[in-house]
Amino acid sequence: MQVEKDHYFIVPVEADNFSTSKISRLRHNLSDHPLMALPELGRLAKRLTATKQCRFIDPGTRQDSAFSHHDSSPDGKDIEDIFRRIEEPGSWVALYSVQSDPVYRDFLNDITTCLRPLVEREQPGMYGVDGFIFISAPPSVTPFHIDRENNFWLQIHGRKTLNVWHNTDRVAVPGQDVNNFIVTRSLANVRLGEGFAARSVELDSGPGDGVYFPSTSPHMTRSDRSWVTPGNGVTVSIGMVFYTSVTRRHAYVHAWNWLLGRAGIASRSPGQGGAIEPLKYALGRSLIWGMKNFRGYKPQAGM
């Protein structure tokens, strides 16, 4: 199946086996899109600076580091200087929630129009579409972490190795740590452990490569300098993310599992609860409602 807008496309490599519930390799040609060119990304970054949507990680961050980021550059450079020197080894900047920018909102909406039939044949109610763009010069990494959203991850420029784990892998991330992330947004216990990499799907990705992975799939990236040539020393990738009615239902099941876990009671992950899962969904939804109205809790995205 080909997902296409004008002459831009995203293609599942194994179209007949594509599923929103599992890791699936992709091909695309968004690397040719004008909005993915570095000068345009630099202009976008300048617009996002005012709302602190440009994010940075500390020098020396490794794949097994905590996934923490800041809204200002560790060395105090402004965003224009960062882009002037973006090919310097170790440069790293992420542009968060680019859906807030009108130009890139239109870009994401165009692509979503094409992706929607592919997604909604299994998971109806696609919503909350957004984009996160990662720009770096190797050697660079993005640490091991999980996200709430489903993700169409696309490599745009340069080369990067993506490791992604199945979202049901409870060795990589135990169930209560997933539940805790869904409810509190904490990644405190989500860290790369010894031997974890062997459990992942590893993809050496260049322009035109991509992968889809479901909500809460652990993942990390790295890029070395083996591919760098003069004028080609920057890697760019974009995560086009979204929620569905399924991720919303699962979020409330995670919330109830979180409460059970705090009481020391083991529970099955969303999608594995059988006939009792509708009850867990209703209880989880009531739990979040009560926390919101009586304890000042602010529900996380996707709820």
120, 239: one domain: yes
Q: Which domain holds residue 42?
A: 3-165+200-243
pTM: 0.94
Q: Grade residue 1 by pLDDT with cuts at 50, 70 and 90.
A: very low
CA distance 39 to 193: 38
230, 256: one domain: no
> Is position 300 within any domain?
no
CATH of the domain at 78: 2.60.120.650
In degrees and rounded to multiples of 5, residue 287 shows phi and psi of -60, -50
> Is position 282 within any domain?
yes
149, 261: one domain: no
> Is position 266 within any domain?
yes
> Is position 68 within any domain?
yes
283, 154: one domain: no
Residue-averaged pLDDT of the chain: 95
Residue 125 makes CB contacts below 8 A (sequence gap 6+) with: 244, 245, 246, 248
Q: Considering its fold, how many domains does the chain have in total?
A: 2
Alpha carbon distances (Å) from 37 to 44, 234, 235: 11, 11, 11
pLDDT at 300: 87
> Is position 185 within any domain?
no
In single-letter form, the type of residue at position 281 comes to Y
- Tell me: the pLDDT tens digits for 62-104? 999 999 999 999 888 899 999 999 999 999 999 999 999 999 9
> Is position 227 within any domain?
yes
8, 105: one domain: yes
- Tell me: the pLDDT tens digits for 101-129? 999 999 999 999 889 999 999 999 999 99
Element (H, E) at 157: strand 150-157
Cα-Cα-Cα-Cα dihedral sign, residues 34, 2, 131, 56? negative
Phi-psi region of 60 (alpha: psi -120 to 50; beta: other; left: phi over 0): left
> Is position 181 within any domain?
no
- Tell me: the pLDDT tens digits for 249-282? 999 999 999 999 999 999 999 998 788 999 999 9
> Is position 130 within any domain?
yes
78, 155: one domain: yes
148, 257: one domain: no
217, 102: one domain: yes
